[in-house]
């Protein structure tokens, strides 16, 4: 890897390790010059990510739709961004900002709306989606399961029912039978640990269970096994496939850095939340400290590491049992340590992304950033966020991390699960008040386009972002 110049290392105005403005050297170090571009590797995948239920609209047959009808979300998904009908023009938008890759998900409940009944229409639709991406020169990254279960399967116990392992394998085989030639990059599960956490520990998502530790662990094992079956199913139809999960990586810091108990909780929570799933798929050992150790027949079922990264949490220890060790999220005001907060109250913490790129390098597999984004109505914050995270990616690559692409969350404003449509994540604004759901580019889309086109962060972009800080 070619040695790249390093940016200034001292904290910037947001308290982060971030680049300074391009013009003139400052106390923070020399300004990047024309020769100090941060280059991305040739063939780097640039794009955005979406998921079916969040953009398509009218996914009547899944458990989220039922959850929404039961009044469990801020606003139901309804027609969402109507991407089901507008994917071609949406892909034109993605292409217009230079994207050469795009992540989307296939909705199981459309493919198999009733148990064992397959919809050719849905399969044809996703075939057209893939063709539309290829026509525009975009590499598809296809998620097979992004949180939503067919309602018939949810009614049979969903992830708690061991039958799901084979049912998922059957679904994956059915999809791959038809679509394998059109996609090389596959994600089996999106953020399994987040789903377990939200669905079985805090009850915010279906099936709405709270502190159900034993079922949660069972679900985790079913997910691991389902991934393994899906992994082999994909490879049986497409031997050169690149398969992974999209792993949510959450940066963690102790509430009180001087407390060894808080630091212990960071380690336990970090293992359970950030490492356990990948580690189990890589080594075949499912390890829950102090509880159990199980060998699973699942070694080396990852071809790359998919990373979703958003923010950092602070953790406070609350005892010695597993829940206590996992700790609680600290409510204390961390303004001293924290950077800016976004519209959902998450800290903007770009260093965390580089931290995970380095940590996950230990698997010696390519790393694809499968999601990274910010809920905000202030687009100034979005393009600063985008720039700062890409700057961290560029530095990690310069240090030898094998990161092969970056997919921003998201192309469009969309349905953000329990939060409804309030959080705005899109490079394109969607007007949900109008039935035709018009799209409008945000300035961050233009900044992203310049980085993508140059395959580098050029000093001019740095200067522009510096002015916005
Ligand atoms: C991720 C999810 C994605 C979206 C973003 C904001 O955890 O994978 O669907 O909700 O968060």
Task: Assess contact for 277 and 339: CB atoms under 8 A.
Answer: no
Q: Whose CA is nearest to atom 9 of ligand 1?
A: 51
Shortest-distance atom of ligand 1 to CA 191: 8
Shortest-distance atom of ligand 1 to CA 423: 6
Contacts of residues 14-20 at CB distance under 8 Å and 24 or more positions apart, as own/partner, are 14/339, 14/340, 14/348, 14/469, 15/337, 15/338, 15/339, 16/339, 16/348, 16/349, 16/350, 16/351, 16/388, 17/350, 17/351, 18/350, 18/388, 18/391, 19/388, 19/391, 19/462, 19/465, 19/466, 20/466
Shortest-distance atom of ligand 1 to CA 425: 6
Cα 371 to averaged position of ligand 1 atoms, centre (Å): 8
Q: What is the pLDDT of residue 291?
A: 72
Q: What is the pLDDT of residue 429?
A: 98
Q: What is the pLDDT of residue 16?
A: 38
Q: What is the pLDDT of residue 4?
A: 34
Asked if the bond preceding 416 is cis, omega within 30° of 0, the reply is no
Q: Confirm or reject: Cβ of 194 under 6 Å from ligand 1.
A: yes
- Surface-to-core class of residue 46, CB atoms within 10 Å of its CB (0-12 exposed, 13-18 middle, 19+ buried): buried
Task: Assess contact for 408 and 48: CB atoms under 8 A.
Answer: yes
Q: Confirm or reject: Cβ of 371 under 6 Å from ligand 1.
A: yes
Q: What is the pLDDT of residue 396?
A: 96
Q: What is the pLDDT of residue 33?
A: 39
Q: Confirm or reject: Cβ of 444 under 6 Å from ligand 1.
A: no
From 188, 373, 410, 417, give the residue whose CB has the most ligand 1 atoms within 8 Å, as the site to mutate.
417
Q: Confirm or reject: Cβ of 413 under 6 Å from ligand 1.
A: no
State the 10-residue block means of pLDDT for the chain, 469 residues long: 31 35 34 60 98 98 98 97 98 98 99 98 98 98 98 98 98 98 98 97 97 93 95 98 98 94 95 94 83 78 97 93 85 63 92 98 98 97 96 96 98 98 98 97 96 95 83
Task: Assess contact for 21 and 466: CB atoms under 8 A.
Answer: yes
CA angle 158, 53, 375 (to 5 degrees): 115
Q: What is the pLDDT of residue 183?
A: 98
pTM of the predicted protein model: 0.92
Q: Identify which of 106, 70, 59 has the alpha carbon closest to the alpha carbon of residue 206.
A: 70
**Distance (Å, whole) CA 196 – CA 215:** 9
> DSSP labels for 120-155?
HHHHHHHHHHHHHHHHTT-EEEEES-SS--BHHHHH
Q: What backbone torsions phi and psi does residue 452 show, to the nearest 5 degrees?
A: -65, -45
Q: Whose CA is nearest to atom 4 of ligand 1?
A: 416
């Amino acid at each position: 890897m070619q040695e790249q110049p390093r940016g200034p290392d001292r904290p910037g105005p947001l308290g982060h390790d971030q680049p300074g403005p391009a013009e003139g050297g400052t106390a923070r170090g020399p300004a990047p010059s024309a020769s100090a571009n941060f280059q991305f590797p040739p063939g780097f995948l640039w794009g955005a990510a979406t998921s079916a239920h969040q953009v398509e609209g009218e996914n009547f047959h899944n458990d989220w739709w039922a959850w929404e009808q039961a009044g469990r979300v801020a606003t139901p998904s309804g027609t969402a961004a109507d991407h089901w009908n507008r994917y071609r023009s949406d892909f034109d938008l993605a292409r217009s900002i230079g994207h050469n890759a795009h992540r989307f998900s296939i909705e199981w409940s459309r493919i198999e709306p009733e148990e064992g009944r397959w919809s050719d229409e849905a399969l044809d639709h996703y075939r057209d989606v893939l063709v539309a991406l290829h026509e525009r020169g975009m590499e598809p990254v296809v998620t097979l399961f992004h949180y939503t279960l067919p309602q018939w399967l949810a009614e049979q116990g969903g992830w708690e029912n061991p039958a799901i392992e084979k049912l998922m394998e059957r679904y994956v085989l059915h999809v791959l039978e038809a679509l394998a030639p059109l996609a090389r990059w596959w994600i089996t599960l999106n953020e399994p640990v987040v789903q377990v956490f939200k669905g079985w520990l805090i009850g915010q998502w279906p099936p709405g269970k709270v502190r159900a530790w034993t079922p949660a662990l069972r679900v985790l094992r079913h997910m691991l096994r389902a991934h393994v079956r899906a992994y082999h199913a994909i490879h049986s139809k497409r031997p050169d496939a690149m398969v992974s999960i999209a792993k949510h990586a959450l940066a963690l810091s102790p509430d009180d850095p001087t407390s060894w108990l808080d630091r212990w909780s960071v380690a336990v929570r970090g293992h359970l939340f950030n490492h356990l799933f990948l580690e189990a798929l890589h080594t075949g050992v499912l390890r829950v400290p102090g509880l159990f150790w199980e060998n699973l027949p699942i070694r080396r079922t990852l071809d790359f590491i998919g990373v979703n990264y958003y923010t950092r949490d602070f953790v406070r220890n609350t005892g010695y049992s597993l829940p206590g060790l996992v700790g609680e999220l600290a409510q204390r005001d961390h303004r001293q340590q924290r950077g800016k907060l976004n519209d959902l109250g998450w800290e903007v913490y770009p260093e965390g992304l580089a931290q995970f790129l380095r940590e996950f390098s230990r698997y010696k597999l390519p790393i694809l950033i499968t999601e990274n984004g910010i809920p905000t109505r202030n687009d100034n914050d979005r393009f600063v966020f985008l720039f700062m995270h890409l700057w961290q990616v560029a530095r990690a690559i310069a240090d030898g991390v094998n990161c092969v692409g970056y997919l921003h969350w998201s192309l469009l404003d969309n349905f953000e699960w329990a939060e409804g449509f309030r959080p705005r994540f899109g490079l394109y604004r969607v007007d949900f008040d109008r039935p035709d759901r018009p799209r409008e580019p945000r300035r961050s889309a233009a900044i992203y386009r310049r980085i993508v086109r140059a395959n580098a962060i050029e000093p001019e972009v740095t200067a522009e972002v510096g002015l916005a800080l």
